Amino acid sequence: MIADDFTIINGFKHIKYEGESFFEDEMIKRSQNYFDFNNKRRSIRHFSDKEIPMGVIENIIKTASTAPSGANKQPWTFCVVKNLELKKEIRLAAEKEERKSYSERMSDEWLDDLKHLGTDANKPFLEKAPYLIVVFKRPFEYDNEGKKHQNYYVNESVGLACGFLISAIHNAGLATLTHTPSPMRFLEKILKRPDNERAFLLLPVGYAAEKTFVPDIKRKNIDEVIKVY
Ligand code: IYR
């Protein structure tokens, strides 16, 4: 006899979906509130060095790790850097790449597009923020015999996990910045990551510094981003 709280598909156990659903009025309220909350999220460049409990960082990363991924391979590793010397080493290496990017690699149009954000090659937040989360993608895995196995939709999967991560950081009342010092190979070296990992994104995490200013920019209007068929 098969119990009604699970079933077998292709020989694999499937359990009951436990997702919640709501009556329409509740759904409207919740979706509006969630938007209002997310609409307050901003990327910031000035952090306080105030401590954050490691348990919060763990919860944030557990949330990121709930993201969907190709064939459920969860092809990501989140490195948490709190060590001051390591943060400094990362800052110096990132600034070295960024100086090259700003002076040689980025086009005039790109530099022009960045002007209103007030960015430059200096990245003091990489030392100031209490934590750096360095996200690595894992294009393949090794099995116990050392044979390689590809992961699937790795960029999509890790991009989604980063979205969840950023949202969880905001939910905790903390702030971050999606920092992409390019090229990012130095992060693999400094953190001594295995050869199946590639740096994907670098996120300083902390409280916003007191009186943080952010650029006065607007999100696109709903009519510009939605097309209903
Ligand atoms: N990676 C550089 C440049 C940069 C690029 C984009 I696209 C931005 O939105 C902001 C900055 C830097 O972090 O300064």
Positive/negative CA dihedral, 152, 184, 59, 173: negative
For ligand 1, whether the C-beta of 180 sits within 6 Å is: yes
168 in a domain, yes or no?
A: yes
Q: How far is the CA of 179 from the centre of ligand 1 (A)?
A: 7
Q: Which atom of ligand 1 is nearest to the CA of 43?
A: 9
- Give the SS3 label for residue 225: helix
> 195 lies in which domain range?
44-209
- Strand runs labelled E in the chain: 6-9, 12-15, 76-81, 131-137, 140-142, 148-150, 175-176, 198-206
174 in a domain, yes or no?
A: yes
- The pLDDT value recorded for residue 1 is 53
- Give the SS3 label for residue 160: helix
166 in a domain, yes or no?
A: yes
- The pLDDT value recorded for residue 211 is 93
Tokens for 204, please give them. Answer: 């300083």
- What is the tally of structural domains in the chain? 1
Q: Are β-strands 12-15 and 148-150 bridged in parallel, bridged antiparallel, or unpaired?
A: unpaired
Mean pLDDT by 10 residues, the chain (229 residues): 84 96 98 98 98 98 98 98 98 96 95 95 97 98 98 98 98 97 95 98 98 96 98
- The pLDDT value recorded for residue 38 is 98
- The pLDDT value recorded for residue 4 is 86
CATH of the domain at 131: 3.40.109.10
Which residue, among 138, 131, 133, 183, has the nearest Cα to 157 in the 3D structure?
Answer: 138
219 in a domain, yes or no?
A: no
215 in a domain, yes or no?
A: no
Residue corresponding to tokens 């905001």: 170
Q: Which stretch of DSSP H or E encloses residue 113?
A: helix 108-114
- The pLDDT value recorded for residue 148 is 98
Which residues are within 8 A (CB) of 160 and not within 5 positions of it... i.e. 6 or more apart? Answer: 67, 68, 69
Q: Which stretch of DSSP H or E encloses residue 54?
A: helix 54-64
pTM over 0.85: yes
37 in a domain, yes or no?
A: no
CA distance 2 to 8: 9
For ligand 1, whether the C-beta of 74 sits within 6 Å is: no
Q: Which atom of ligand 1 is nearest to the CA of 119?
A: 14
176 in a domain, yes or no?
A: yes
List the helix and strand counts (H, then E) for the chain: 8, 8
31 in a domain, yes or no?
A: no
